Structure 1
Amino acid sequence: MSTWVLGITGGIGSGKSTVARRFAELGIHRVDADQAARWVVEPGRPALQRIVERFGTHLLQDNGQLDRAALRQLIFADPPQRQWLEQLLHPLIAAEISQALAKAQSPYAILESPLLVESGQLRMTQRLLVVDSPEALQIERTMQRDGAAREQVQAIMAAQAAREERLRHAHEVICNDRDLSWLDQQVRQLHAFYLNLRGGQT
């Protein structure tokens, strides 16, 4: 039986990574688009060279790694620069993701990505699960997790797809505003449901 792909997305601080980890613990092959995004800008990869040529060596840390936080700050304030970066990175990230998904041995695989809808990665999936949370909760969680300022979190949220847009594409939605045991139960129910799907279709 061929493996189909479940996309998991949600705004920053929604808990999508927690949900994806729960599926992985149930034996489901998990691909994290953020990891692919980190891998394509590793030292020695062509994308890093292009970024340094455009923005300067001050974006490199002492060990030669990209200072992702500095780059994020730079492009969030400048939409044309963000567009340039996305045009460079999105095809490279998509290629990495495809290779990682091709290794799946489980009945279905997960592609976890914060930019699933807006990056075009949705085309690589057969079904979409959106992890949703009240906005105030997203902001609090992210500030706690990253030590980020409220304004910075709000800027990141503004750059991600609008909640309505994500929900419009969703096949299933988990509203993650309760405790972890409740979340675990939701994942187990969905997992049982997904195991009975052929190609991600009911």
Structure 2
Amino acid sequence: MKNHSPPIIGLAGGIGSGKSTITKCFNAIGIQSVDADDVARLVVEPGSNCLHQIHQRHGNDILLEDGSLNRNALRTIIFNQPEERLWLESVTHPAIRKEIQSQLNKTSSKYTLLVHPLLFETKQNTLCQFVIAIDVPIEIQLQRVMARDKISQENAEKIFITQLSNKERMNRADLVLENSGNIDKMNAKVIKLNTKILELLVC
């Protein structure tokens, strides 16, 4: 049976690049999206197989009182023990990939935006017809991450080390979207980019 799911357009940007804000701009003009960060939270919810495996490995220290994942505790572990990050990815990435595909299959807009901080690193770009890379100054990213997650600059920089640089991401992408933080300008940029994507999909 032929797959009638919409074409997939990747939106790749590192942590703090403004993916959520940009995604809302696309959603506002009728483009549906699947966000890998949302999926990553979903697969470690209480009762999930992933959370069970993480609990088995790290004990009660990685659980909050309500039984949900203590993200800060787990983040500290994987920051300081790179081998634990690799183990965690071996557990969560297959579950994330499966759930992403399930959600993509349910969309119905002209194309679907696959929003992913590790699009190239996890080879999810192979699902995409085109990839948009977000261009944002590293200084702005650092400020956003430190303020949002209430972490030190040192810990924020450790996250960046695990991701492609903005330059590498842009070199591998088909389209680039500059995001210096002005929401009004971003709405206009997204409308213009949407027109270009629709033209490319027709070609």
* TM-score, structure 1 normalization: 0.93
Correspondent of 2:136 among 128, 133, 150: 133
Judge conservation of contact 2:5–2:105 (CA < 8 Å) in 1.
no
Judge conservation of contact 2:43–2:50 (CA < 8 Å) in 1.
yes
Q: CA deviation at 1:58?
A: 1.0
**SS of residue paired to 2:200:** coil
Q: CA deviation at 1:146?
A: 2.6
Q: CA deviation at 1:2?
A: 4.8
Q: Which residue of structure 2 lines up, in the alignment, with residue 32 of structure 1?
A: 35
Note closer, same or farther for the CA distance 1:187–1:81 as it changes in structure 2 (3 Å cut).
same
Correspondent of 1:122 among 122, 125, 134: 125
Note closer, same or farther for the CA distance 1:94–1:2 as it changes in structure 2 (3 Å cut).
closer
Q: Which residue of structure 2 lines up, in the alignment, with residue 177 of structure 1?
A: 180
Runs (5+) with no aligned partner, structure 1: none
Correspondent of 2:7 among 4, 8, 12: 4
Q: 2 CA distance for matches of 1:18 and 1:89?
A: 25
Letter of the 1:62 counterpart: E
Q: Which residue of structure 1 lines up, in the alignment, with residue 64 of structure 2?
A: 61
Note closer, same or farther for the CA distance 1:178–1:62 as it changes in structure 2 (3 Å cut).
closer
Q: Which residue of structure 2 lines up, in the alignment, with residue 98 of structure 1?
A: 101
Q: 1 CA distance for matches of 2:143 and 2:59?
A: 33
Is residue 143 of structure 1 aligned with residue 143 of structure 2? no
Q: CA deviation at 1:69?
A: 1.8
Q: 2 CA distance for matches of 1:136 and 1:67?
A: 28
Q: CA deviation at 1:172?
A: 0.8
Correspondent of 2:111 among 94, 108, 112: 108
Q: 1 CA distance for matches of 2:33 and 2:125?
A: 15
Note closer, same or farther for the CA distance 1:125–1:9 as it changes in structure 2 (3 Å cut).
same
Judge conservation of contact 1:128–1:171 (CA < 8 Å) in 2.
yes
Is residue 188 of structure 1 aligned with residue 182 of structure 2? no
Superimposed CA distance per residue, residues 3-62 of structure 1 (whole angstroms, 9 cap, x where no aligned partner): 100111112211121111110111111111111111111111111111111111110111
Letter of the 2:103 counterpart: A
Superimposed CA distance per residue, residues 95-151 of structure 1 (whole angstroms, 9 cap, x where no aligned partner): 000000101110100111111111222122121111121111111222233322211
Is residue 19 of structure 1 aligned with residue 22 of structure 2? yes
Q: Which residue of structure 1 lines up, in the alignment, with residue 50 of structure 2?
A: 47
Judge conservation of contact 2:136–2:166 (CA < 8 Å) in 1.
no
Q: 2 CA distance for matches of 1:15 and 1:158?
A: 18
Using the TM superposition, name which of 124-133 and 1-10 deviates more. 1-10
Question: How many pairs align?
Answer: 200
Letter of the 2:168 counterpart: E
**SS of residue paired to 2:101:** helix
Q: Which residue of structure 1 lines up, in the alignment, with residue 163 of structure 2?
A: 160
Judge conservation of contact 1:11–1:132 (CA < 8 Å) in 2.
no
Runs (5+) with no aligned partner, structure 2: none
Aligned residues with identical type, % of pairs: 39
